[in-house]
């Protein structure tokens, strides 16, 4: 899960978008031919590019990458912030160092943190896909964010390629460009390291783009691309990937056994043996990774962490776990207060219905915002449309799968991103030919709302430079306008300490009302050799044992809840009458928190 608690402001980019969308719809009814000649010229040029389908895919991918690089002076490379970011970066830095996992550090109790496993090894609790992408960025280009950037470019290109298999080329190119401006520039998928959506979105696009092409041509290239997509889903969002692959597998099975153009067994074997080998190899590698990091090839990364720390279950039929023994109050608050608060919302019929509606609205507004909502008035026609009936079925399978989960953020459903765009674009095609009273109102709505998506890019950049109060609000992380400027204070202090002579130890002190989402205690894979170590403040005996262990380091006190965050020399506790932690650790058994049941 990702942080959802940020400073609240009265205005937001979504309010601006909603107002402009209403104006665009009103103008379409009042003056449906406004700018018709200009739009026609643009559409003709757009269509010429779209006909060159390979070039169109390349242009979409490069546009996503180059535009995001172009706005770096305004929206810079993000600082890591919160549990998910640091967990993914731990995975990335581990892989970049050539290891699958890390040994448990001797002082591990001081380094416990949200979404991090400390036993049996020290590693992120997440599936390895995102860590591998970030590691590639660090190894090849010097910074993890560049791996995320190129994955977002591939995602947008993949969405365009998938849409070419389901819609006319012009609409596929439009969908790719909308993915660039709605997902590739400002959302947390590109501006936080926990933007895990791009990998699963690319995987889903490859699977759904290859499906009709493979059935039509029975070529190895398409079955291989489908296998690559399935593998990407397996290493990033396997549950949602399974929801996508179930209807795909049913269609493939029915076609191969009873389809009108079903292939011969020889052709089927020739075009599926290598893709199946790739999928099996991915599963085997995942099992080996789980074995090395978590002790069993059948133990998913998150399962051990949730069993150790969590109380709230993932699925609606599960009961809360008994509260374990926590070593740190801030972690207890996160798991027993924050997560249980969300879990408690779905424990009544009314609450469950309300949260289900919120899940739906959150997903719709992340992928479409207000600007792309008007075409949904044609949803009834879309439901009767044979062209994308299978994609509608896929969306129903997703809805059923999300219905039984207690938590939902947009990257959970990323595997279906291309499905959402295909449905929205098909609705837009129906809206475009809508002529109430003989007036081209539908065409005007589609033209103005699509144009609005591109105009809002300028508004978002202007908001970031001259009107920052319009950007951030309590749920901005789930908006297309996205987050920015998270993690600045921790990054500032860490940068100061990196330039200090010698090694540094930072003991972090929180106030009782500290926001658990603003977590500072995260470290590099090899903690003991790090220039800067972040540790939790505990009781005097534990703190003294930590300081003694890192006796070659200068010790600092960080207080994130001060404004601005404070850093000062750590006041060492009185050493008299404080027992050695060796005896305390032996009595404790040096175990992780225990839980019942």
Residue range 209-237, pLDDT digits in tens:
999 999 999 999 999 999 999 999 999 99
Q: Does residue 492 surpass a pLDDT of 90?
A: yes
Check whether 284 has a pLDDT greater than 90: yes
Please state the domain count of the chain: 2
Tell me: the pLDDT tens digits for 404-423? 888 888 999 999 999 999 99
Q: How confident is the model at residue 300, as a pLDDT?
A: 84
pLDDT band of 335, cuts 50, 70, 90: very high
Do 460 and 576 fall into the same domain?
no
Q: Could you please report the per-residue DSSP string of 45-66? A: HHHHHHHSHHHHHHHHHHHHHH
Residue 577: pLDDT over 80: no
**Nearest alpha-carbon partner for 410 in 586, 262, 188, 80:** 188
Say if residue 456 is in the same domain as residue 498.
no
Q: Domain residues for 167?
A: 13-310+325-464
- Asked if residue 297 is part of any domain, the answer here is yes
> Are 435 and 552 in a shared domain?
no
Query: Per-residue confidence at 2, pLDDT binned at 50, 70, 90?
Result: very low
pLDDT tens, residue by residue, 499-543: 999 999 999 999 988 888 889 999 999 999 999 999 999 999 999
In this predicted model, what pLDDT tens digit does every residue of 14-49 receive, in sequence order?
888 899 999 999 999 999 998 999 999 999 999 999
Residues 355 and 456 in one domain: yes
Strands 553-559 and 566-569: antiparallel
594 is a domain residue: no
| Mean pLDDT confidence for 165-186 | 96
pLDDT, mean of residues 465-481: 54
- What is the pLDDT, as a whole number, of residue 466? 66
Same domain, residue pair 364 and 509: no
pLDDT of residue 516: 84
Q: Concatenated DSSP letters for 27-46?
A: HHHH-TTTTHHHHHHHHHHH
Helix (H, G, I), strand (E, B) or coil at 124: strand
Would you list the DSSP string of 231-276? HHHHHH-HHHHHHHHHHHHHHHHHHHHH-TTPPPHHHHHHHHHHHH
Tell me, yes or no, whether 24 and 146 share the same domain: yes
Q: What is the pLDDT of residue 45?
A: 94
Place of tokens 């109790």: 109
What's the pLDDT score for residue 580? 46
Looking at per-residue confidence, does 356 or 53 come out higher? 53
Q: Which pLDDT score is estimated for 4?
A: 40
Could you tell me what percent of the chain has a pLDDT over 70? 90
Average pLDDT, integer, range 581-594: 41
Report which secondary-structure segment, H or E, holds 503.
strand 503-508
What is the per-residue pLDDT for 575? 56
In a domain, 362, yes or no: yes
Whether residues 158 and 254 share a domain: the answer is: yes
Average pLDDT of every residue of the chain = 89
Using the predicted structure, report yes or no on whether residue 96 has a pLDDT greater than 80: yes
pTM, two decimal places: 0.91
Checking if the pLDDT of 203 tops 80, the result is yes
Asked if residue 351 is part of any domain, the answer here is yes
The sheet with strand 532-536 has its strands ordered as: 532-536, 503-508, 553-559, 566-569
Per-residue confidence (pLDDT) for residue 237, from 0 to 100: 94
Q: How far apart are CA 275 and CA 567, in angstroms?
A: 54
pLDDT bin (cut points 50, 70, 90) of residue 359 is confident
Whether residues 195 and 292 fall in one domain: yes
pLDDT higher than 70, residue 140: yes
320 lies in some domain: no
Q: What is the pLDDT of residue 87?
A: 95
As beta bridge partners, residue 116 has 124
**Is pLDDT of 584 > 60?**
no
- Please list the alpha-helical segments (H only) found in 345-487: 349-367, 379-383, 389-403, 417-432, 441-465
User: What percent of the chain stands above pLDDT 90?
Assistant: 71
Q: Residue 484 has what pLDDT?
A: 62
Does some domain include residue 75? yes
Q: Quote the pLDDT of residue 474.
A: 38
Kindly state whether residues 534 and 451 are assigned to the same domain.
no
Antiparallel, parallel or unpaired: β 503-508 and 532-536: parallel
Given the structure tokens 């309590």, which residue do they identify? Answer: 474
**In a domain? residue 7:** no
pLDDT band at residue 363 using 50, 70 and 90 as cut-offs: confident
Sorting pLDDT into bands at 50, 70 and 90, what band is 467?
A: low
Q: What is the pLDDT of residue 574?
A: 66
Identify whether residues 553 and 417 lie together within a single domain: no
Tens of pLDDT, residue by residue over 252-268, are: 999 988 877 888 889 98
- Asked if residue 506 and residue 369 are part of one domain, the reply reads no
Residue 474 inside a domain? The answer is no
Q: Are 170 and 47 in contact (CB under 8 A)?
A: yes
> What pLDDT is stored for residue 454 in this prediction?
93
Residues 450 and 573 reside in one and the same domain: no
């Amino acid at each position: 899960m990702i942080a959802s608690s940020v400073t609240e402001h009265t205005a937001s980019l979504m309010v601006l978008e909603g107002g402009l969308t209403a104006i665009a719809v009103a103008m379409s009814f009042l003056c449906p031919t406004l700018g018709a000649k200009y739009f026609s010229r643009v559409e003709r040029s757009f269509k010429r590019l779209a006909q060159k389908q390979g070039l169109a895919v390349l242009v979409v991918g490069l546009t996503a990458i180059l535009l995001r690089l172009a706005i770096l002076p305004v929206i810079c490379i993000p600082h890591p912030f919160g549990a998910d970011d640091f967990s993914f970066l731990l995975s990335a830095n581990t892989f970049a160092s050539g290891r699958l996992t890390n040994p448990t550090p001797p002082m591990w109790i001081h380094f416990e943190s949200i979404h991090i496993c400390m036993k049996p090894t020290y590693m992120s609790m997440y599936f390895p896909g995102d860590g591998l992408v970030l590691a590639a960025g660090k190894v090849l280009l010097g910074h993890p964010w560049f791996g995320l950037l190129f994955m977002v470019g591939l995602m947008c290109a993949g969405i365009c390629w998938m849409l070419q298999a389901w819609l006319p080329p012009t609409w596929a190119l439009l969908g790719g460009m909308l993915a660039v401006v709605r997902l590739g520039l400002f959302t947390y998928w590109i501006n936080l390291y926990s933007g895990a959506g791009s990998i699963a979105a690319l995987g889903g696009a490859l699977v759904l783009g290859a499906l009709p092409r493979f059935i039509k041509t029975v070529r190895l290239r398409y079955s291989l691309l489908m296998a690559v997509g399935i593998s990407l889903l397996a290493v990033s969002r396997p549950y949602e990937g399974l929801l996508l692959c179930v209807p795909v597998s049913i269609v493939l099975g029915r076609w191969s056994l009873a389809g009108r153009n079903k292939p011969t067994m020889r052709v089927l074997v020739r075009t599926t043996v290598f893709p199946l080998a790739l999928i099996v190899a991915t599963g085997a590698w995942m099992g080996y990774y789980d074995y090395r990091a978590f002790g069993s090839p059948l133990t998913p990364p998150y399962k051990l962490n949730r069993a150790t720390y969590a109380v709230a279950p993932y699925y609606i039929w599960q009961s809360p776990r008994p509260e374990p023994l926590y070593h740190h109050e801030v972690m207890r608050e996160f798991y027993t207060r924050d997560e249980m608060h969300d879990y408690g919302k779905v424990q009544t019929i009314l609450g469950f219905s309300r949260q289900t509606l919120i899940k739906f609205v959150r997903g719709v507004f992340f992928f479409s915002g207000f600007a792309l909502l008007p075409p949904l008035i044609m949803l009834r026609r879309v439901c009767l449309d044979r062209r994308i009936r299978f994609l509608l079925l896929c969306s129903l399978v997703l809805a059923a799968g999300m219905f039984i989960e207690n938590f939902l953020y947009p990257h959970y459903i990323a595997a279906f991103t291309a499905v959402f765009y295909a449905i929205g674009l098909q609705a837009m095609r129906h809206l475009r030919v809508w002529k109430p009273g003989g007036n081209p109102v539908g065409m005007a709505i589609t033209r103005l709302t699509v144009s609005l998506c591109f105009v809002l890019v300028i508004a978002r950049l202007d908001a970031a430079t001259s009107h920052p109060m319009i950007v951030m609000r309590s749920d901005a992380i789930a908006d297309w306008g996205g987050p920015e400027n998270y993690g600045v204070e921790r990054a500032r202090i860490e940068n100061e300490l990196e330039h200090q002579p010698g090694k540094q130890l930072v003991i972090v002190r929180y106030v009782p009302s500290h926001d658990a989402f603003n977590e500072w205690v995260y470290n590099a894979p090899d903690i003991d050799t790090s220039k800067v170590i972040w540790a939790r403040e505990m009781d005097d005996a534990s703190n003294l044992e930590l300081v003694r262990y890192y006796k070659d380091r200068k010790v600092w006190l960080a207080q994130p809840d001060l404004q601005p965050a404070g850093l000062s020399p750590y006041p060492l506790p009185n050493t008299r009458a404080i027992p050695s932690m060796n005896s305390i650790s032996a009595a404790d058994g040096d175990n992780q928190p225990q839980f019942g049941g």
